[in-house]
Amino acid sequence: MPNVSLKNPADLKAYIITGPTSGIGRLTALELAKHGTVVLVGRDRKKLDEVQATIEQKGQRAISVVCDLSDIASVRRAATEIIALHLTIAGLLNNAGIMQMRPTRNALEWDMSFVTNHLGPFALTEALVPHIPDGANIVFVVSAVEDPERKPAVAAGFRGGRYISAEASARGVWKAGGAKRPGFDAYATSKQAILAAAMAFARETPRLRFNAVEPGLNPTTGLGVGDMGAFVRVLQRFVIPLLVPPLMLFIKVLSTPKRAARVITKILIDTSGRTGVYYDEGGHPMLGSALVRDPEFQDRVVAETRAFLSSAPA
């Protein structure tokens, strides 16, 4: 059961966030705690408890729910635990994500990037939607590398999403002509799929607000550096944080976790009723790839994902 520290949880507005223990997710969780109860959803109980303690030391409220997004059975159990809390859910932030330089697979032999970045958030959202009140916000953290025409992404070696089907993606099979670097196609395709799903959800369920956000290039978060050498990790931790702020004046796509957290929080607590919007790193509407904007593609991704997950072990 989750670690609950609430006296009257049903009377409190709550925000659910996945991946809240580091980087953008941690800072966003701390921001969201200013606006209501935060439900912290992540794999590591110890790290969840640390973030929860930080929030509670400020007189705010948090709940920890252990969940491994790469394990659909774990996702379903977590959703059941969250529903049982009977909170008034004001927002759901699907923030957790991975980018692997050397692709790996989960226990079911599914590509880890695709299941963590698309299948897991998709399953969690679908399980919670019937229990989320009208007007609430559901936000997906995505990536513009899904767009094959995105110049900064192309310069970095990405070739856009390479989606064939949900089943093929789970097997780690991508459309030909993709990136040369291992892991890039998996990451771009997983982010394209969940972005397409977010846009389809917005049309399917108009009583809720479904939006997506590109948090910008955040070199200090360490996304993808776990597979690199010690020297790169040292640069990422101590040198790059000093360089990013001044470079942001000249490179639009650059951001910092602190800035991204502010932008994401603003979108998640927004009461304007906007839905089906894809926001850039500054919180302004942007366009995704031509493919991801196609309603037929959006609906196909959703239909194929639902069909694929229907056969996943309970």
Q: Give tens-digit pLDDT for 121-161.
A: 999 999 999 999 999 999 999 999 999 999 989 998 999 99
pLDDT of residue 232: 33
245 pLDDT exceeds 80?
no
Of the two residues 184 and 5, the one the predictor is more confident about is: 184
pLDDT confidence band for 87 (50 / 70 / 90): very high
Average pLDDT over residues 252-275: 89
For the chain, percent of residues with pLDDT exceeding 90: 80
pLDDT of residue 238: 35
pLDDT confidence band for 242 (50 / 70 / 90): very low
63 pLDDT exceeds 90?
yes
54 pLDDT exceeds 60?
yes
Of the two residues 295 and 8, the one the predictor is more confident about is: 295
Q: Give the residue extent of every domain in the chain.
A: 9-143+194-307
CB 269 within 8 A of CB 89: no
pLDDT confidence band for 250 (50 / 70 / 90): very low
pLDDT of residue 12: 72
pLDDT of residue 126: 98
Average pLDDT over residues 238-256: 46
Average pLDDT over residues 257-285: 96
91 pLDDT exceeds 80?
yes
**Over the stretch 8-45, which tens digit does the pLDDT of each residue have?**
544 479 999 999 999 999 999 999 999 999 999 999 99
Considering the entire predicted model, what is its pTM?
Answer: 0.88
300 pLDDT exceeds 50?
yes
CATH of domain 9-143+194-307: 3.40.50.720
